[in-house]
Structure 1
Amino acid sequence: MTTRRLNSGGLIDRSKPISFWFDGKTYEGFEGDTLASALLANGVSIVGRSFKYHRPRGVWSAWVDEPNAIMNIRLNGKEQPNCLATTTYIEEGMAARSVNAFPTAKYDIKGGLDLFHRFLGAGFYYKTFIWPDWHLFEPAIRKMAGLGAVDREVLEDFQSAQNHAKCDVLVVGGGAAGLTAARAAAEAGKDVVLVDDQRVLGGSLYRCGATADIDPDEWVAAQKTAIENAGGRILTHTTAYGVYDHGLVALVQSQGFGRAPALWRMRAGQVIMATGALDRPITFAKNDLPGTMSLNAAGEYLARYGVMAANKPLVMRNNSHASATIENLRAAGSKVEEIDHVDGITNQGRKHTTGLRIGKDQIDADGVLVSGGLTPLVHLWRHAGGKLDWCETRQAFVPKPATDAMIAIGAANGTYDLAQAIEEAEAAGKGTPIDRPSTTYTTTLIDTKPHSKGRQWIDFQHDVTLKDIEVAARENYVSVEHLKRYTTLGMAFDQGKTSNMAGLTAMAALRGKPIPQVGTTTFRPPFVPVPLEIYHGAKTKQLWSPVKRLPLEDKHRDLDAAFCEYGGWLRPGWYGSGDRDATIQKEAKAARDTAGIFDGSTLGKIEVMGPDAEAFLNFVYYNTIKSLKPGGIRYGFMLTEGGIVYDDGVVTRVDQNRFIVSCSSSHVDGVRTHLEAWRQDGNDPDRIFVHDQTTAWATVTVTGPKARDVLSSLDTTIDLAPDAFPHMTFREGTMGAIPLRIARVSFSGDLSYEVSVPTGHAETLWNAITAAGKEQGVSPIGLEAMSILRAEKGFIIIGKDTDGETMPHDLGFTIPRAKKKAAFIGDRSLHTEKANADDRKVLVGLSVPDGEPPLATGAHAFTETPTRRSLGYVTSSYQSPNVGPIALAIIEAPHAKVGDTIKIWHKEEVREVTICDPCRFDSEGGRLHA
């Protein structure tokens, strides 16, 4: 076996040999080796097979742009599919096998498919399998599709750590530019996080630092120490794979093979993108043969792993940046011969390159190293919405300067000169970015010659050739997005990192247009494939369904509150450690006699705004919203398309184009999703905006006869007089310097005010109200007492006093169904035969004879004619200190007449009760409008 490992050099630990397997054979590497570097060191040439033709493939790159060396890996009984050999570090006992090959990459029984390549060109799926019916072929094609194999075992212990973090400056990339920017920002007093996806910081510095008179080891160590001493944080093995809305950058941090990676959701005030640049391939006949490799990759294998990619390579390059790598290869003993790219070059060999043929001349070699120019890695820039400019000097798309939220530096910005990149990075870290410097980098565009002889590969993994680009152009798939989908160009594992520029260059040549006029495809997250485990958090105890907590939880605990879970929230059920039932009765009585203070922060506060907000909510709600005036509040129902009551609550109109939807506490997430789904269906999303502000505002409700007296003692700018502030209205003002919202709306049926302030001022509001309440003899009440108060008034709770068939008219709300002319969700369903059936269950109250206890919730009303059957059931039942036993129920309409007596059955006990109005307290509403 040929070894290409040098006796010295690299960042590996030669004192720690590691044995591993590849395609059934044992090999040896060292700690710090990747699978790719270890296989190259052992002389392994073929590491995979291409997707369509199953042609032999060798290692192309040394980083995330690798299209060929993709493997399924097993270690300690755990297997992961589709691992990049160039970024996976070897571990003792690791067993790797090539994907898309059987039994091995070297001897693949499907290799014969390449003989039929002329029949399997671009678009052959669409053309060949259209007759007689695509579905006849679909099962077989789907079975052949895809790469790798997923382990059928469910790895229950693969539960990713979910981390949320923020910083002033996030630097992505730990090369020379990234390290410099991170150091400058940290020393300027900023909270800095530096992330790099490699094991060792330094980026391309090890490959080209020596030629710039920099000792990479010493320089990197000095920068790292300075960053950490200034308080900066460094995350290695960490990839920034996506930029999302509102400054969210998603990071995945490897914990080692077989261990679940960690997900970081990072919110950064500024992102400095120092992601570097990629080496492009050069297109010529049979340029996909193993042994043909990126020149920069060869330099990386030499500098980082002490591996010589080829002892006697031929080098084709079109740029000055490649000179440093060539110099390093020669210094290490490689007999490099440079040749110019000319028409008619053909790679020689069958399963490994043996040299190049140029016309009639044969030049022998054991490798071909190519550098077709540098392409800045702009994926994250495009994720964030950044635009690109075409630079003729660099022959590449470079970031177009935009806002300070993201800054590109170094090679990612097209600054390839090391000294210039460091200068640029230092300025960016200090917050004084400079213009992109002029470059000493020179390159020439290698024109793609359409209709050239021989197969020239554009996309190595998906087997897209220059001929396929020509076919696409001939069939008018000239849009870059159409080209991608028709040929599958750039849809491989590397997501076009190696193939995009080659494809664009070819299409530009075919169309006779400049490259920038051809354009680029859309860059979307993730930047690299990420394991699904990062989305799989722990699913035990509270983490299965995390309970939501009140901002005033500590205040309630100080008052000896008994906490219970209500609708996913941890809330006070009652206050005090005495007898539960007696305490609840006392609170409900006090609230009617004086007032009660209630934490209503859980109530939904979803803001809907925009020019079309009125029409949108008028469609979403059963009730008419368009007639609501600014400052007004209206109670209403949201329905499903089937006409079923989904949620009830109140809508506040703040101004002409802004509303607040206050929904049930347990329904906030569902209502937000409901609104968002309909916003995107048939509406212009740029004219309607939905923002959940529930946790942004804390709410304290004061309810009862003395509610106005309690609030009047607060230092607010809002007039609480009945004429100035009537029931079902909304006011905004301040309490001192704190923004204040007050809604005069009632869940108890008594005089009530819902007082809201930004969550950060929750304690200030609570302290002020409880202090004022103490002077009036008013104290806090829990949710159990509030539930009694609402039941006394016959107010329902959706999901408790309704079921999956309840419609608005079953609850006594009939006017919109009969008179609302505008369309609304569920309107047609309210007029179906089922919706108008005589035996629908309707809401009623139930009264028990004097002296009898309350009914059991869930007890069934029944009839015995002709046989016993259920007529409905009790939905809510309480002992009220104000009106005695009360109950709500939904009963079949023919048996739900007020004054009638029906039988109730529960646990073999039968009782007789009387149908009554659901409202049992203050039926005239005088207290509500006081």
Structure 2
Amino acid sequence: MLKNLRVKTSKFIDETSRVSFKFNGKIYYGFKGDTLASALLSNNVHLIGRSFKYHRPRGIMTAGSEEPCAIVQINGKTSLTEPNIRATEIEIYEGLDATSQNCWPNVNFDIGGINNFISPLLPAGFYYKTFMWPASFWEKYEYLIRHSAGLGKSPTKPDPDIYEHKYVHCDVLVIGAGITGIMAAKTAAKNDLKTLLVDEKSEIGGSTIYQNSEHITINDQYSSTWLENEINDLKKFKNLEVKTRTSVAAYHGYNYLLARENLTDHLPQDEKKNKVRQRLLKIRAKKVIVATGSLERPLVFNNNDRPGIMLSSAVKKYADYYGVATGQKNIFFTNNDTAYESAISLNKKGIKVEAIIDTREKSNSEFTAEAESLGIKVYRSRTIVDTGGYKRINKITVMELSKNGQSFANSEKITLDCDCLAIAGGWTPAVHLFTQSGGKLKFRDEDQVFIPNKYPSDQVSIGSCNGDFELDDIIKETSKTLKEFLNIKETNYDDLKIKCPKNKEIRNIWLLPSDKVIGKTKPFVDYQNDATAKDIKLALREGFKSIEHVKRYTTTGMGTDQGKLGNMHALGIIAETAGVKMGELGTTTFRPPYTPLTFGTIVGRNVGEYFDTFRRTPMNDWHIEKKAEFENVGQWKRAWYYPVNNETMHEAVQRESKAARESAGILDASTLGKIDIQGTDASEFLNRVYTNAWSKLAIGKCRYGLMLNEDGMVYDDGVTTRLDENHYIMTTTTGGAANVLGKLEDYLQTEWPELDVYLSSVTDHYATASVCGPNSKKILNKIIPDLDLSDENFPHMSFMNAKIGNIKCRVMRISFTGEHTYEINIQANFGKSLWEKCMEAGKEFNITPYGTETMHLLRAEKGFIIVGQDTDGTMTPIDLQMDWIVSKKKYDFIGKRSLYRSDTMREDRKQLVGLVTDNPSEVLEEGAQIVADAYLKPVEMLGHVTSSYYSPNLNKSIALAVVKNGKSMMGQKLFIPMENKNINVTIVDPVFFDKENVRLNA
């Protein structure tokens, strides 16, 4: 009969609050505070899922986020379903429904388990070789591969949960709320520093020691009393914020970190409704203290993966923290003293410990003597060579190790019965976040660990993540480090008296020997992906030497746990096999996130209609009233065209363009990017940014500028106006505004920090109405009667400050249509009023609003380019026939040197030209390829069409194109091959309309 697996009541579990949940369709019960793992263990459930490759039974191995095996799917039949959740991390709640993954039809009988029996046919890298021949079979391979890939099932419906982002700023961020984290947070807060302490667990206190430890005294008190007092003291500080259930996912440069805060995952379903599930904290900290602790290592031996094989620290935590016995016949297997402490703790709780298997010949620790005095049988200089049981371990086979630990002293075998094997292979500092930040590690030979060495930012690692594993050393070193790092004179921990047994003897054997040849064994290194020690050795035999190559060939460390348990063993096995030092190998790359993030957390509220923001101009309501059709341009809703009486787009554009040329048109140009540039070096800055000269531009004048990338290719363009001696306003393309600002800021901050220049985005500050056409001057005279619009007073490419009533505005005489044009810039909240005044003033001239499609047609008639449409990142100013805008006198500007590379100066590069069709009514397709001989096979592509329209002002179709050696091909006939015919075209000058620019001053 099954005994009660609950032991002495834990204060962290509320046994008065029973919680029901489902696992694989069966109802179980746990208590409030249980994780799914502890609740299942209390119900004697050890088989949780199946491994990825061999579909071997897998159970619970750890008690934290490093868990590689016990991953489940939750709420599988609802829109709330989520795969790959660690049973060790999810707190049970009423209504939780979890199922096993990677098994069919169920976890007890899994058809995929056949892979375990044919495993000799599935060595590391077999897929790279097997699926290459015959090539005609690839479609069949692909179907099978895709259906066997992955572990859980992705949701197919939109996520109904709510997520959000929050920006956090603090003086000190402390990551990890164990003993050292608590010490650091309390010390920082006491010294008036705004402090944030985060920990992934639901309670702070950590796992270096547990609250009922009987082996550690501090100032002659049990550690539990001292630690509880420290935790309570944290509540006294108003400048200290403590966040539990918060996991730091990523540590970027300059102390910018991302953390996921779980807010409702532990609540019953009915309490979660309309509440934020998870919050992504975007933290910027002046100083960061990393106190992430360390991870216990497993031991690698044959069949070391069966359910019931757990880390020693996990077995202890389930008993101490959750009040759960993980087995009734417990055996510990260790190479150090921490397993003895765990065994003693279990024994004193009434949990039977059958034996301790120790790979060491001897140990002088107080733990070993105490364990033996309690009647626990200790087998020294022994190793486990095999385990029994399928869905749960039921026995182990033990043999005596030789002196060197690589073979056996004799052939005698001992078989011991057990239902839980607790393994302890030492500790690995959790340096993942440190290395993410750009930190460099060093290898410590005496206990074979990687520890922080070079810090890239204002941060420090303390405690066991810094390689300090003894509590008295931890307290002393942490106190010393905090004084130096926080620049303070003393801490509360300088005079602490600590008594605790030492645990410094460890015997590292990365791959324990077996009585079988390695080809007949399964010593697992990566428990999720089924990567074994023999896979690693095979990779080395096949020529892979880099740890990163071995990782990818064997998939070691590529599971959802990112190899938190197995990576050190992989390094050790590679080093021993290849005969190199571990410190020379380095480590694999620790990439964010530290623990998995849901897509919902990453995206926040930017989902559905909020996935991408819509920006609207101040005139947007007017455009809607006039039934305008819209297009999306750089997040803006721009009026595309204004159909009247059910016009098609073509009909509307023809009408709008005729009106703009013959009388007056008006365009909403508010979306153009606007960057305010100020500073004593503003002119020098523009000289470096643009290809043409700016120092001598007079105040009140405007100038068109072209911006290049470092490779000499056109990046953006626009008109920049000099408002004052050290004040300019730059306009950019609508879609390029944010990128241009970012690029300019990058140059100011990293390349030219000596320049006195300040940039501000003012795109949203101003509304812009552009009035063009022969009657534009008359319309503006009616709106601003006091403004002298004569060509002498207000020439083309200049601006004037003015007032419309009492409202200040800025009027610029610039044109993108080739017509006499005025752009009126006004404070954004007066934009609609300005637009309506323009429409009223232009009524007698039949002023016609036109959209972006008409604007494109009008500028194409003039041969004006649109960056991003007529350019594709491979066009220089010379290619665009804009040699005139490249200064020959300036010393330097961005991209100048690249313009004079041999390839950039080739005369046969693709160049901008105009195209006309033999049939004037035939409009080319944009993107259509251009060839010299449509019948020659294979066809040589000379270029393509970039812009194409039918011009009502020219009564023919026109197009812009880029053609190889196009400038020297004027008048030549080429072809556009289409699906059913070839279209004859002629290369012409790209300026089709008003080449003399007469209309600008008409």
Q: Same fold (TM over 0.5)?
A: yes
CA shift at 1:319, angstroms? 2.1
Is 2:567 the partner of 1:500? Answer: yes
Q: 1:121 to 1:662 in 2, by over 3 A?
A: farther
Q: So what's the TM-score if we normalise by structure 2? A: 0.64
**2:157 equivalent among 135, 139, 153:** 153
Aligned residue identity for 1:212: I
Aligned residue identity for 1:379: H
Aligned residue identity for 1:372: G
CA distance in 2, matches of 1:835, 1:604: 38
Aligned residue identity for 2:103: A
Is 2:342 the partner of 1:325? Answer: yes
Q: Residues 201 and 220 of structure 1 are in contact (CA less than 8 Å); yes or no, is this contact kept in structure 2?
A: no
CA shift at 1:399, angstroms? 0.9
Tell me what 1:48 maps to.
49
Q: So what's the TM-score if we normalise by structure 1? A: 0.69
CA shift at 1:304, angstroms? 1.3
Q: Residues 333 and 422 of structure 2 are in contact (CA less than 8 Å); yes or no, is this contact kept in structure 1?
A: yes
Q: 1:457 to 1:836 in 2, by over 3 A?
A: same
Listed one character per residue, the Cα deviations across residues 254-274 of structure 1 (whole Å, up to 9, x for unaligned) are 122376311110000111000
Listed one character per residue, the Cα deviations across residues 502-538 of structure 1 (whole Å, up to 9, x for unaligned) are 1111111111122112221011111111111112333
CA shift at 1:787, angstroms? 8.0
Q: Residues 183 and 223 of structure 1 are in contact (CA less than 8 Å); yes or no, is this contact kept in structure 2?
A: no
Residues 477-626 of structure 1 aligned to structure 2 (within 5 Å):
477-539=544-606, 545=613, 602-603=674-675, 624=691
Listed one character per residue, the Cα deviations across residues 568-606 of structure 1 (whole Å, up to 9, x for unaligned) are 799xxxxxxxxxxxxxxxxxxxxxxxxxxx999941669
Q: Secondary structure, in 3 states, of the residue corresponding to 1:17?
A: strand
Stretches of structure 2 that go unaligned for 5 or more consecutive residues are 266-271, 360-381, 400-412, 488-493, 495-500, 619-631, 638-669, 723-727, 767-793, 825-850, 867-876, 884-898, 924-948, 960-988
Q: Secondary structure, in 3 states, of the residue corresponding to 1:112?
A: helix
CA distance in 2, matches of 1:688, 1:282: 54
CA distance in 2, matches of 1:62, 1:5: 16
Tell me what 1:882 maps to.
none
Is 2:420 the partner of 1:420? Answer: no
Q: Residues 914 and 958 of structure 2 are in contact (CA less than 8 Å); yes or no, is this contact kept in structure 1?
A: no
Q: Residues 796 and 1000 of structure 2 are in contact (CA less than 8 Å); yes or no, is this contact kept in structure 1?
A: no
CA distance in 2, matches of 1:811, 1:470: 64
Q: Residues 718 and 731 of structure 2 are in contact (CA less than 8 Å); yes or no, is this contact kept in structure 1?
A: yes
Tell me what 1:394 maps to.
447
Q: 1:429 to 1:328 in 2, by over 3 A?
A: same
Tell me what 2:931 maps to.
none
Is 2:165 the partner of 1:162? Answer: yes
CA distance in 2, matches of 1:136, 1:693: 61
Tell me what 1:375 maps to.
428
Residues 711-722 of structure 1 aligned to structure 2 (within 5 Å):
none
CA distance in 1, matches of 2:356, 2:388: 17
Q: 1:569 to 1:276 in 2, by over 3 A?
A: same
CA distance in 2, matches of 1:262, 1:520: 31
Q: Residues 603 and 665 of structure 1 are in contact (CA less than 8 Å); yes or no, is this contact kept in structure 2?
A: no
CA distance in 1, matches of 2:140, 2:63: 42
Aligned residue identity for 2:718: D
Stretches of structure 1 that go unaligned for 5 or more consecutive residues are 551-564, 571-597, 653-659, 680-684, 702-745, 754-772, 842-858, 873-891, 900-914, 921-930
Q: Mean Cα displacement is larger for which, 132-141 or 828-837? A: 828-837
**2:201 equivalent among 195, 198, 204:** 198
Q: Mean Cα displacement is larger for which, 375-384 or 787-796? A: 787-796
Tell me what 2:305 maps to.
288
Is 2:508 the partner of 1:445? Answer: yes
Q: Residues 355 and 367 of structure 1 are in contact (CA less than 8 Å); yes or no, is this contact kept in structure 2?
A: no
Tell me what 1:302 maps to.
319
**2:357 equivalent among 314, 318, 339:** 339
CA distance in 1, matches of 2:671, 2:795: 12
CA distance in 1, matches of 2:734, 2:754: 18
Q: Residues 79 and 155 of structure 2 are in contact (CA less than 8 Å); yes or no, is this contact kept in structure 1?
A: no
Tell me what 1:354 maps to.
394
CA shift at 1:200, angstroms? 0.7
CA shift at 1:828, angstroms? 7.7
Q: 1:443 to 1:812 in 2, by over 3 A?
A: closer
Q: Secondary structure, in 3 states, of the residue corresponding to 1:284?
A: coil
CA distance in 1, matches of 2:223, 2:820: 80
Is 2:105 the partner of 1:103? Answer: yes
CA distance in 1, matches of 2:905, 2:228: 62
Q: Residues 252 and 534 of structure 1 are in contact (CA less than 8 Å); yes or no, is this contact kept in structure 2?
A: yes
Q: 1:664 to 1:415 in 2, by over 3 A?
A: same
Q: Residues 862 and 871 of structure 1 are in contact (CA less than 8 Å); yes or no, is this contact kept in structure 2?
A: no
Q: Secondary structure, in 3 states, of the residue corresponding to 1:917?
A: helix
Q: 1:642 to 1:427 in 2, by over 3 A?
A: closer
CA distance in 1, matches of 2:258, 2:907: 42
CA shift at 1:643, angstroms? 10
CA distance in 2, matches of 1:528, 1:668: 35
Listed one character per residue, the Cα deviations across residues 747-767 of structure 1 (whole Å, up to 9, x for unaligned) are 9843689xxxxxxxxxxxxxx
CA distance in 1, matches of 2:577, 2:991: 79
CA shift at 1:442, angstroms? 3.3
Is 2:542 the partner of 1:472? Answer: no
Q: Secondary structure, in 3 states, of the residue corresponding to 1:26?
A: strand
CA shift at 1:545, angstroms? 2.0
- Overall identity of the aligned pairs, in %: 29
Tell me what 2:1000 maps to.
918
Listed one character per residue, the Cα deviations across residues 193-214 of structure 1 (whole Å, up to 9, x for unaligned) are 0111110111113267442234
CA distance in 2, matches of 1:674, 1:364: 66
Tell me what 1:770 maps to.
none
Q: 1:40 to 1:548 in 2, by over 3 A?
A: farther
CA shift at 1:116, angstroms? 0.4
Q: Residues 643 and 826 of structure 1 are in contact (CA less than 8 Å); yes or no, is this contact kept in structure 2?
A: no
CA shift at 1:328, angstroms? 1.3
**1:407 equivalent among 431, 456, 460:** 460
CA distance in 1, matches of 2:297, 2:795: 67
Q: 1:789 to 1:862 in 2, by over 3 A?
A: closer
How many corresponding residue pairs? 738
Tell me what 1:583 maps to.
none
CA distance in 1, matches of 2:119, 2:153: 25
Q: Residues 195 and 235 of structure 1 are in contact (CA less than 8 Å); yes or no, is this contact kept in structure 2?
A: yes
Tell me what 1:923 maps to.
none
Q: Secondary structure, in 3 states, of the residue corresponding to 1:486?
A: helix
Q: Mean Cα displacement is larger for which, 643-652 or 297-306? A: 643-652
CA distance in 2, matches of 1:145, 1:692: 56
Q: Residues 605 and 663 of structure 1 are in contact (CA less than 8 Å); yes or no, is this contact kept in structure 2?
A: no
Q: 1:635 to 1:66 in 2, by over 3 A?
A: same
Q: Residues 64 and 89 of structure 2 are in contact (CA less than 8 Å); yes or no, is this contact kept in structure 1?
A: yes
**1:635 equivalent among 704, 721, 724:** 704
Tell me what 2:856 maps to.
803
Q: Residues 210 and 320 of structure 2 are in contact (CA less than 8 Å); yes or no, is this contact kept in structure 1?
A: yes
Aligned residue identity for 1:862: P
Tell me what 2:143 maps to.
139
Q: Secondary structure, in 3 states, of the residue corresponding to 1:330?
A: helix
Q: Secondary structure, in 3 states, of the residue corresponding to 2:856?
A: coil
Aligned residue identity for 1:52: K
CA shift at 1:635, angstroms? 3.3
Tell me what 1:740 maps to.
none
CA distance in 1, matches of 2:583, 2:485: 30
Q: 1:171 to 1:439 in 2, by over 3 A?
A: farther
Tell me what 1:119 maps to.
121
**1:750 equivalent among 798, 803, 806:** 798
Q: Residues 602 and 694 of structure 1 are in contact (CA less than 8 Å); yes or no, is this contact kept in structure 2?
A: no
Tell me what 2:245 maps to.
237
